[in-house]
Each structure stands twice: as structure tokens, then as C-alpha cells.
Amino acid sequence: MQNVEARLPATGGTTTVAEPVAGVIGGLVAGAAYLAAQVTFTAAVHPGSAAEPLQRIAAILMGPDAAPPPAEFTFTTLGMALIIHLGLAMVFGRIVSVLAWRRPAGIGVLTGALVGLALYVLDFAVIAPIAFPWFEDSLRAVTIADHALFGAVAAAVCLALRAWPLEGSEHAGTTADMR
């Protein structure tokens, strides 16, 4: 497979990581961070219920019987939740990368956080009430913060990959391009 090389006006350098690939990678990393935050905060607020966010996600395809409570958490539920969540995270990561790729790092991360908040509004205020009412029981403030976290992390990963210099370039091995 041939390396994709992109010329970046913001850094003046080149990278072997194309923006679409950076978006997918950023989405996966941010999706993992989102899930970790959701599970941790849910367990902190409702001890013994850490799996509830995963059950709600799995119920998108498995149906409302998979949603908590009292649905049992199984490996099937876990697998379905990860497939759905990480698939969406890759798509949403691409959206973040398109909007953040050519911005300076601080503005790019802020843009990502704002995209995350917009995704919250779309997912929880528009789609979920109509199609997935079991999301109504989600922790609102935590879920809003976790969506901002998702967008910020996705953007930060994309921008870090953007600054990853091509080996042999004059900037290889330095962090000068990560401003």
C-alpha cells in the first residue's frame, strides 16, 4: 500500500497520515475515551450500573429489551454496543477532522468540542426522543460533557497526526509542527 502524502499549509510540512485516516483514528480514540468516561461516571453516580450506557447503545439495534433496567448485560450486548459505538465514532471523527484539520491546534480542539456538543443535540434532543426513548434516563450533564470530550479528543488526535512529520523531512523527530 502506498503512503498518502498531504501538503499542509498550516505547518508547511508533509505527513503520511491523510485527513480522512486521521479522522477515523481520532474518532476511535475519542470513542474509547467517551465510553470510559460514560461508564466511570455512571458507576460513580449509580453504583453497580456501569454497564447501562453500553446497554442503551446496544439497544439501538437489539431493541428496547436490551436497554436497562432490568435487562441482563451479556457479551452479546457488549459486542453490539462496541460495534455500534465505534462505528459511529469513526463517522463522527471524520466530521470533526473535516472541520478541525486546517485550524490551529487550540481552535481545532475547540471546534472539535463544539462539534461534540452539536452531536449531543442531534443524538439526544432530536433522534433519541423519537427513535430510542430509553436514552431519556441517561445522565444529562455527564453525557453533554462526554460529547464535548469526544469532539475535543477526536480533534486533538487528528491534529497530532497532522503534525506527524514524514520521515526524512526537515522536521522529522521534532515537535515544532505541533503548535
Residue 33 within a domain: no
Q: How far apart are CA 155 and CA 109, in angstroms?
A: 5
Q: How far apart are CA 58 and CA 63, in angstroms?
A: 8
Bigger pLDDT: 175 vs 34:
34
Residue 12 within a domain: no
Residue 69 within a domain: yes
* Inter-CA distances, 110 with 32, 114, 173, Å: 19, 6, 27
Task: Report the phi/psi class of residue 7: left, alpha or beta, with left for phi > 0 and alpha for psi in -120 to 50.
Answer: beta
Q: What is the mean pLDDT of residues 154-163?
A: 94
pLDDT band for position 130 (cuts 50, 70, 90): very high
Range of the domain at 136: 40-165
- Counting the structural domains of the chain, the total is 1
Range of weakest confidence among 17-31, 39-53, 91-105, 148-162: 39-53
Residue 65 within a domain: yes
Residue 178 within a domain: no
Residue 90 identity (one-letter amino acid)? M
Q: How far apart are CA 75 and CA 77, in angstroms?
A: 5
Q: What is the mean pLDDT of residues 105-113?
A: 97
Residue 60 within a domain: yes
pTM of the model: 0.82
The pLDDT score that the predictor gives to residue 46 is 82
Q: What is the mean pLDDT of residues 31-54?
A: 91
Q: H-helix or E-strand containing 6?
A: strand 6-7
Residue 5 within a domain: no
pLDDT band for position 14 (cuts 50, 70, 90): low
Tell me the pLDDT tens digit for each residue of 86-105: 999 999 999 999 999 999 99
Residue 133 within a domain: yes
Q: How far apart are CA 84 and CA 75, in angstroms?
A: 14
Of 23, 25, 26, 3, nearest to 15 by C-alpha is: 3
Q: Chain-wide mean pLDDT for the chain?
A: 86
Whether 31 shows a pLDDT value over 70: the answer reads yes
Of 81, 76, 112, 103, nearest to 179 by C-alpha is: 103
pLDDT band for position 136 (cuts 50, 70, 90): confident
